[in-house]
Amino acid sequence: MKEKEMRKVSLGEERMKELGFTKVYNMLGRITQWEAEGLPTIK
């Protein structure tokens, strides 16, 4: 992930927390890695 993209992810993560979201995850590797690790998803 490029530095500019990483900053956008961090800003988005911070904003979600400011809005009151408590389950906010930085998904490095995108959803593909998340699913490959057997972590839950909602469709």
- How confident is the model over 1-43, as pLDDT tens digits? 566 666 666 788 888 889 999 988 776 677 888 888 899 988 7
In this prediction, residue 26 carries a pLDDT of 74
pTM of the model: 0.47
How far is it, in rounded angstroms, from Cα 41 to Cα 43? 7
In this prediction, residue 40 carries a pLDDT of 92
Other residues' Cβ atoms within 10 Å of the Cβ of residue 9: 13
